[in-house]
Structure 1
Amino acid sequence: MPRGRALVTLRDAAEYITKLPKAEHDAPEWQAAMEALLLVAESGGPTMFARIGVMRALNRQVERVFIPERKETHWGKRKLARDQ
Protein backbone atom coordinates (compact mmCIF):
# COMPACT_ATOMS: atom_id res chain seq x y z
CA MET A 1 0.00 0.00 0.00
CA PRO A 2 1.19 3.54 -0.62
CA ARG A 3 2.72 5.34 2.33
CA GLY A 4 2.66 2.19 4.47
CA ARG A 5 -1.10 2.19 4.92
CA ALA A 6 -3.00 -0.97 5.71
CA LEU A 7 -6.50 -1.98 4.74
CA VAL A 8 -7.98 -3.13 8.03
CA THR A 9 -11.72 -3.03 7.44
CA LEU A 10 -13.97 -3.60 4.46
CA ARG A 11 -14.77 0.12 4.51
CA ASP A 12 -11.04 0.90 4.16
CA ALA A 13 -10.86 -1.35 1.13
CA ALA A 14 -13.97 0.17 -0.43
CA GLU A 15 -12.68 3.72 0.08
CA TYR A 16 -9.33 2.78 -1.42
CA ILE A 17 -10.99 1.30 -4.50
CA THR A 18 -13.26 4.30 -5.02
CA LYS A 19 -10.29 6.70 -4.91
CA LEU A 20 -8.38 4.86 -7.65
CA PRO A 21 -7.86 6.58 -11.02
CA LYS A 22 -10.50 5.70 -13.62
CA ALA A 23 -8.14 3.61 -15.78
CA GLU A 24 -7.01 1.50 -12.84
CA HIS A 25 -10.50 1.37 -11.37
CA ASP A 26 -11.81 -0.29 -14.55
CA ALA A 27 -9.23 -3.11 -14.45
CA PRO A 28 -10.85 -6.56 -14.26
CA GLU A 29 -9.03 -7.36 -11.00
CA TRP A 30 -10.48 -4.30 -9.26
CA GLN A 31 -13.94 -5.00 -10.66
CA ALA A 32 -13.80 -8.51 -9.20
CA ALA A 33 -12.58 -7.12 -5.86
CA MET A 34 -15.52 -4.69 -5.78
CA GLU A 35 -17.99 -7.47 -6.55
CA ALA A 36 -16.54 -9.55 -3.72
CA LEU A 37 -16.77 -6.59 -1.32
CA LEU A 38 -20.41 -6.04 -2.27
CA LEU A 39 -21.17 -9.74 -1.81
CA VAL A 40 -19.77 -9.64 1.71
CA ALA A 41 -21.34 -6.30 2.64
CA GLU A 42 -24.83 -6.91 1.27
CA SER A 43 -25.33 -10.67 1.53
CA GLY A 44 -23.13 -11.50 4.49
CA GLY A 45 -20.88 -13.69 2.36
CA PRO A 46 -17.51 -15.00 3.56
CA THR A 47 -15.08 -12.17 4.25
CA MET A 48 -12.27 -14.30 2.85
CA PHE A 49 -13.72 -13.71 -0.64
CA ALA A 50 -13.28 -9.97 -0.23
CA ARG A 51 -9.77 -10.40 1.13
CA ILE A 52 -8.73 -12.65 -1.74
CA GLY A 53 -10.20 -10.27 -4.31
CA VAL A 54 -8.43 -7.23 -2.91
CA MET A 55 -5.11 -9.07 -2.49
CA ARG A 56 -5.25 -10.33 -6.09
CA ALA A 57 -5.98 -6.82 -7.33
CA LEU A 58 -3.17 -5.28 -5.28
CA ASN A 59 -0.68 -7.88 -6.49
CA ARG A 60 -1.81 -8.02 -10.12
CA GLN A 61 1.57 -6.68 -11.32
CA VAL A 62 3.52 -9.48 -9.64
CA GLU A 63 4.30 -12.40 -11.90
CA ARG A 64 4.13 -15.75 -10.15
CA VAL A 65 7.05 -17.94 -11.13
CA PHE A 66 7.57 -21.52 -10.07
CA ILE A 67 11.18 -22.27 -9.14
CA PRO A 68 11.63 -26.03 -8.66
CA GLU A 69 15.10 -25.67 -7.07
CA ARG A 70 13.72 -23.67 -4.13
CA LYS A 71 12.50 -26.57 -2.12
CA GLU A 72 13.39 -30.20 -1.87
CA THR A 73 10.51 -32.62 -2.04
CA HIS A 74 10.05 -35.28 0.59
CA TRP A 75 8.68 -37.85 -1.82
CA GLY A 76 10.58 -41.09 -1.96
CA LYS A 77 12.83 -40.38 1.04
CA ARG A 78 10.77 -42.31 3.52
CA LYS A 79 11.77 -45.88 4.24
CA LEU A 80 9.09 -48.27 5.25
CA ALA A 81 9.70 -50.82 7.98
CA ARG A 82 8.80 -53.68 5.65
CA ASP A 83 11.50 -52.62 3.15
CA GLN A 84 14.37 -52.75 5.67
Structure 2
Amino acid sequence: MQDIKANSSKWINEKKFLKVKFEWQEGYGAFSYSKSHVQNVIHYIQNQEEKHKVKSFNEEYLDFLNAFEIDYDERYVFKDLI
Protein backbone atom coordinates (compact mmCIF):
# COMPACT_ATOMS: atom_id res chain seq x y z
CA MET A 1 0.00 0.00 0.00
CA GLN A 2 2.90 2.33 0.76
CA ASP A 3 4.16 2.04 -2.84
CA ILE A 4 0.71 2.67 -4.27
CA LYS A 5 0.24 5.77 -2.12
CA ALA A 6 3.72 7.12 -2.93
CA ASN A 7 3.46 6.55 -6.68
CA SER A 8 -0.11 7.79 -6.99
CA SER A 9 0.53 11.03 -5.07
CA LYS A 10 3.62 11.67 -7.19
CA TRP A 11 1.60 11.09 -10.38
CA ILE A 12 -1.30 13.31 -9.24
CA ASN A 13 1.07 16.15 -8.34
CA GLU A 14 3.04 15.86 -11.59
CA LYS A 15 -0.21 16.04 -13.60
CA LYS A 16 -1.33 19.06 -11.53
CA PHE A 17 -4.92 17.81 -11.26
CA LEU A 18 -5.47 19.76 -8.07
CA LYS A 19 -5.14 23.40 -7.10
CA VAL A 20 -3.11 22.32 -4.07
CA LYS A 21 -0.43 19.70 -3.45
CA PHE A 22 -2.00 16.29 -2.99
CA GLU A 23 -1.00 14.33 0.10
CA TRP A 24 -2.49 11.12 1.42
CA GLN A 25 -3.98 11.15 4.87
CA GLU A 26 -2.73 8.65 7.40
CA GLY A 27 -4.11 5.22 6.55
CA TYR A 28 -6.10 4.25 3.51
CA GLY A 29 -9.38 2.82 2.32
CA ALA A 30 -10.22 0.13 -0.16
CA PHE A 31 -13.49 -1.04 -1.64
CA SER A 32 -13.95 -4.60 -2.78
CA TYR A 33 -16.49 -6.22 -5.04
CA SER A 34 -17.30 -9.84 -5.72
CA LYS A 35 -16.28 -11.46 -9.00
CA SER A 36 -19.88 -11.25 -10.21
CA HIS A 37 -19.54 -7.43 -10.24
CA VAL A 38 -16.30 -7.22 -12.27
CA GLN A 39 -18.10 -6.03 -15.42
CA ASN A 40 -19.82 -3.27 -13.44
CA VAL A 41 -16.46 -2.11 -12.08
CA ILE A 42 -14.93 -2.13 -15.57
CA HIS A 43 -17.87 -0.12 -16.92
CA TYR A 44 -17.53 2.34 -14.03
CA ILE A 45 -13.83 2.89 -14.73
CA GLN A 46 -14.37 3.27 -18.47
CA ASN A 47 -17.05 5.92 -17.92
CA GLN A 48 -15.52 7.72 -14.96
CA GLU A 49 -14.50 10.82 -16.90
CA GLU A 50 -18.03 11.35 -18.23
CA LYS A 51 -19.56 10.66 -14.84
CA HIS A 52 -17.40 13.34 -13.22
CA LYS A 53 -18.80 15.92 -15.61
CA VAL A 54 -22.12 15.66 -13.76
CA LYS A 55 -21.02 14.45 -10.33
CA SER A 56 -17.88 15.69 -8.61
CA PHE A 57 -15.26 13.33 -7.26
CA ASN A 58 -16.14 14.51 -3.77
CA GLU A 59 -19.83 13.71 -4.23
CA GLU A 60 -19.02 10.29 -5.62
CA TYR A 61 -16.50 9.55 -2.85
CA LEU A 62 -19.08 10.42 -0.19
CA ASP A 63 -21.60 8.19 -1.99
CA PHE A 64 -19.12 5.28 -1.73
CA LEU A 65 -18.50 5.93 1.96
CA ASN A 66 -22.21 6.07 2.66
CA ALA A 67 -23.04 3.02 0.49
CA PHE A 68 -20.42 0.96 2.31
CA GLU A 69 -21.54 2.41 5.67
CA ILE A 70 -18.07 3.79 6.43
CA ASP A 71 -17.79 6.44 9.12
CA TYR A 72 -15.62 9.39 8.12
CA ASP A 73 -14.33 12.59 9.63
CA GLU A 74 -15.58 15.70 7.83
CA ARG A 75 -12.12 17.25 8.21
CA TYR A 76 -10.74 14.75 5.71
CA VAL A 77 -13.39 15.16 3.02
CA PHE A 78 -12.07 16.86 -0.13
CA LYS A 79 -13.38 20.40 -0.48
CA ASP A 80 -12.78 22.70 -3.44
CA LEU A 81 -9.58 20.92 -4.47
CA ILE A 82 -10.59 19.85 -7.95
- Which category of TM-score, normalised to the shorter sequence, fits these structures? under 0.3
Flag the structure with larger Rg: 1
Question: Relative CO higher for 1 or 2, CA cutoff 8 Å, sep ≥ 6?
Answer: 2
Normalising by structure 1, what TM-score? Answer: 0.24
Normalising by structure 2, what TM-score? Answer: 0.25
